[in-house]
Structure 1
Amino acid sequence: MSERLSCIDAGSEYCPCHLAETNDCLICSQLQGKSFCDCNWSGVCIYQNFYWCGNKKNDVRTVVEGKIIERKRVHEEIVVFKLAVTKTLARQLKQPGSYVFLRDPEKPYFFNVPMSIMDANENTGEIHIAAQIIGPKTKSLLECKDKILIKGPYWNGVLGIKNLKITKGENVLIAARGIALAPSVLAIKYLLKNDNKITFIMDPGKLGMVFVHDYIKDLKLKTIELNFKEEKGVKDFSNILKNGNYSLVYSAGSDRFHKRVEKAIDEMEENIKFVITNNSHMCCGEGVCGSCSHKTKGGNTVKMCKCQLDAKELLEGRKVNG
């Protein structure tokens, strides 16, 4: 693999992973079957860790039982779960882009469904998740009474996370639509912690409502509601972008929504950092099943549950129309 790729799990307690055992590591050239070191990883040597582990993967994420503290129906299709977990897991899930797999304890493993974390509190050991009830997996969550199975933590729900984390004391524009309003809460809190000034563009989408008001009402940010499906909404967004001197734009929504945001950025002809939510289809979260596979410019197939790709490269590769 000649491309320089980055892995969200590199250097974590879950590295090396299953991919190291099959010579499919995203980072380590020797764990890609090569006989030499040609990685761009500046942390502790992944190959060395693999060797110390007896040529085996490190710890794997486990399934834990979470207690349902509250289940609130905020919309016909949206249910917000407030779940009790360990303080350690809650802390691990405070990062923007964090997600877990949820499942009804009475259902088999293939009912695991990925869910973005909307909020997390390590002091109380709580996580909040907004689930859009659509298919059999999400419908099964409504059958959970007191407990729910949780597998995590996973972190690759945001592409361009490095750009988000290095942004400090800047003007930031966040645009989110529909259910993607939920993962925007963690991003907002992280950016505010780094003294950024935030303008939050909220598109109610097909839901017809903004369900995160309770999570942002006490935060210091500017909020604006727009409809990106209307020409006026797109024009208003472009004007806000042009007049705000923003150094970073965070887009949360479908790939088509990302393209509309990207188009407005391109019209600026300025060096604005672009961060997007990862809309790849997650199934196992470990880079094994292949459901999140994406072909890069270099012709390599990577697993988007782990790989950090440039937002524009991903959208271009998917041939998404605005």
Structure 2
Amino acid sequence: MTYYIKCTLKNKKKEARGIFSCTFNFDRKRIRELRPGRFVMVWLPGIDEFPLSPSNYDPETCTVRLTFKVRVIGTQTLSAINVGDAIFIRGPYGNGFKVPRELAKENDKPVLIAGGGVGLAPLMPLIKDLLHRNIKLHVICGFRSFDEAFFIDEIADLLENNFTISTDDGSMGIKGTVVDVAKELLRRKTFSYVYACGPEIMLFKLHKMLLNKRVPHQMLVERYIKCALGVCGSCIINGFRLCKEGPVFNDVKLKKMKEFGRYKRNASGVRELIS
């Protein structure tokens, strides 16, 4: 899908410090092609174009919610638009999260979902999908501090007590990182599968730990994306195009990525160390 859909802002909410949710009307046909973990390209003419994975989509109301952290001019501009303003969206693109057959069957072992920072946003459709399938879940919501925490009420409504909050500074929930919490949970419980999204350093550490514990997993990886069509090569990680084969990869593919957790590429395609 290469053409753009003009989308009008229906609602805007400041979720936390520097984090906003914008809900737009969307194309009735395209919305049925969305799946948890897939992404769309947001185009702000004359300013920027960038990928976002929806934090919610509703075929009944034909709306899409995009949740993002304000970082550069694109997200700065998006956070400043008003209800009634229009932007352009193309997509959806990529491969989203998959539910293995064994999870869909009756399974007493819960699934662990780990979200770090704004990486929690694209996990929300997955959480709802798995709950709809009657799959038991435990969700980790990790933030730097309490003023960056978001979606807590929404998650509490969905999961009751089956979630853990952590902050790096201890200002909310458990003091520690998502990886710290996951390590402790995996020590006390047996999980059949893990899904994760967040900063790549977090994902890399979690990936290594899960490999050692032989827990299968999928992770949504973020990279600079230009065309989203698999042509330009700007989002390639060791031969895998994030916009086509990803952005969600399973543990088998992640093991083959020597750059995962170590290097990224900037807008010019130059390889840089991940800090």
Number of equivalent positions: 249
Deviation at 1:235, TM superposition (A): 4.4
Q: Give the aligned residue type for 1:162.
A: K
Of 223, 228, 233, the match for 1:285 = 228
When the two chains are superposed, the root-mean-square deviation of aligned CA atoms in Å is 2.7
| Partner of residue 247, structure 1 | 192
| Partner of residue 44, structure 1 | none
Where 1:69 maps in the other structure, the secondary structure is: strand
1:151 and 2:90 equivalent?
Answer: yes
Written as runs of structure 1 = structure 2, the 5 A alignment for 1:31-180 is 60-93=1-34, 95-104=35-44, 107-108=45-46, 111-145=48-82, 146-156=85-95, 158=96, 161-163=97-99, 167-168=103-104, 169-170=106-107, 171-180=110-119
| Partner of residue 273, structure 1 | 216
**What is the percentage of aligned positions where both structures have the same residue?**
22
Rounded to whole Å, the distance in 2 between the matches of 1:283 and 1:207 is 33
Alpha carbons of structure 1 residues 287 and 177: separation in structure 2 relative to 1, 3 Å: same
8 Å contact from structure 1 (residues 292, 303) kept in 2: yes
Rounded to whole Å, the distance in 1 between the matches of 2:219 and 2:152 is 21
8 Å contact from structure 1 (residues 176, 184) kept in 2: yes
Deviation at 1:67, TM superposition (A): 1.1
Written as runs of structure 1 = structure 2, the 5 A alignment for 1:168-247 is 168=104, 169-170=106-107, 171-205=110-144, 208-220=147-159, 222-227=162-167, 233=177, 234-247=179-192
Rounded to whole Å, the distance in 2 between the matches of 1:175 and 1:302 is 23
Deviation at 1:101, TM superposition (A): 1.1
Whose radius of gyration is greater, 1 or 2? 1
Where 1:217 maps in the other structure, the secondary structure is: helix
Deviation at 1:207, TM superposition (A): 7.4
Q: Give the aligned residue type for 1:90.
A: I
8 Å contact from structure 2 (residues 5, 27) kept in 1: no
Q: Give the aligned residue type for 1:123.
A: E
| Partner of residue 47, structure 1 | none
Deviation at 1:264, TM superposition (A): 2.9
Rounded to whole Å, the distance in 2 between the matches of 1:180 and 1:120 is 17
Deviation at 1:136, TM superposition (A): 1.7
Rounded to whole Å, the distance in 2 between the matches of 1:172 and 1:64 is 36
Deviation at 1:166, TM superposition (A): 5.7
**Gaps (5+ residues) in structure 1?**
1-59, 296-300
Rounded to whole Å, the distance in 2 between the matches of 1:267 and 1:229 is 28
Rounded to whole Å, the distance in 1 between the matches of 2:224 and 2:192 is 29
Deviation at 1:229, TM superposition (A): 8.4
8 Å contact from structure 1 (residues 163, 273) kept in 2: no
8 Å contact from structure 1 (residues 84, 127) kept in 2: yes
8 Å contact from structure 1 (residues 164, 275) kept in 2: no
More strand as a share of residues: 2
**Gaps (5+ residues) in structure 2?**
263-274
Alpha carbons of structure 1 residues 166 and 235: separation in structure 2 relative to 1, 3 Å: same
Q: Give the aligned residue type for 1:276.
A: M
Where 1:260 maps in the other structure, the secondary structure is: helix
Deviation at 1:85, TM superposition (A): 1.3
TM-score (norm 2): 0.80
